[in-house]
Amino acid sequence: MNKTILITGASSGFGKGTAIGLAKKGHRVIAAVHVEPLKTILLEEAQKEKVELEVIILDVTKESDRQFAASHYDVDILMSNAGVMETGPVAEIPIENVRRNYEVNVFAPLQLAQSFLPKMVKKGNGKIIFTSSMGGLITVPFAAIYTSTKHALEGIAEGLKEELTGTGVEICTVNPGVFGTGFNDRGAETMLKWWNPEQSLSKPEIIHAFTDTSSLEQQLNPKLMIDAMIRIAEEENSLFRNVIPESIIPWIRKTQEHAWKAKRNEMLTINPNSL
């Protein structure tokens, strides 16, 4: 059955691919982008792909934009996908960068969900899918502010799932690993504006181990994640947590377990190649 689906952060990456993919399958897709020029670009992309997309301006941090979307659209599925990444060591990152990351990645998806949930609960049906991250389940050094926002989002999603049990509303997360959408690359660059590694509080060997961007050359094909997001949007009774690719789950679990044992001068992070 065709559904009405609103997806935020639809101008690029997972959001764009998922929006176009769902539209190709016949769903009514409201693709939200946060500034006007991106609307033009996305409409041109939809025309090339020969799909119908309803593109709207929705800056998820703006109350007026959120309320407009909630009052004008009765959606079956809200895919809360918009996000940003601020990087840099926790002991040194400017607090304004931290606040921005939380405004976009935590407060905005919570407020957007609160805007749509009354309609969903009233009709006894609906689904909210939060784009989290593998970083919502573990902490990534020098991206810990970003991963902490995803930890917070996980907690919000878990709370919603528990508290809305029996209402007919489904809550779930998608947790991508490291995919080559450009998001990780741009996020890694954010610290270059303000951070001086020569004056950092972190040890040089730690800095070198976790700020080497050569690992970004090994990122996964985004199609794997996009296909999973399309599947999760279409299916009924999804798993609550959906880590993609599934091959990283053992590493995530081992890292979580190690946090219970680590002591002073022991890293929490486990090298996935050691498993």
- Which residue, 161, 85, 101, is CA-closest to 130? 161
73, 116, 130, 146: the catalytic one is: 146
The reported pTM is: 0.96
Where do we find the tokens 């982008």? 33
For residue 176, what are the CA distances in angstroms to 41, 134, 144, 189?
Answer: 25, 6, 16, 20
| Residue 73 annotated as catalytic | no
Q: Domain residues of the chain, as ranges?
A: 4-244
Residue 244 has pLDDT above 80, yes or no: yes
What is the pLDDT, as a whole number, of residue 160?
A: 98
What is the chain's mean pLDDT, rounded? 96
Distance between CA atoms of residues 29 and 32, nearest Å: 9
4-244, CATH topology level:
Rossmann fold (3.40.50)
Where do we find the tokens 């660059």? 189
Residue 268 identity (one-letter amino acid): L
Summarised one tens digit per residue, pLDDT across range 250-271 is: 999 999 999 999 999 999 988 8
Q: How confident is the model at residue 46 (pLDDT cuts 50, 70, 90)?
A: very high
Cβ–Cβ under 8 Å, residues 41 and 16 = no
What is the pLDDT, as a whole number, of residue 216?
A: 83
- With H, G, I as helix, E, B as strand and everything else as coil, classify residue 50: coil
3-state secondary structure 237-261: CCCCEEEECHHHHHHHHHHHHHCCC
- With H, G, I as helix, E, B as strand and everything else as coil, classify residue 40: helix
Residue 275 has pLDDT above 80, yes or no: no
Name the percent of the chain lying above pLDDT 70.
100
Burial code (b: 16+ CB inside 10 Å, e: under 16) for 55-87 equals bbebbbbeeebbeebbeebebbbbbbbbbbbbb
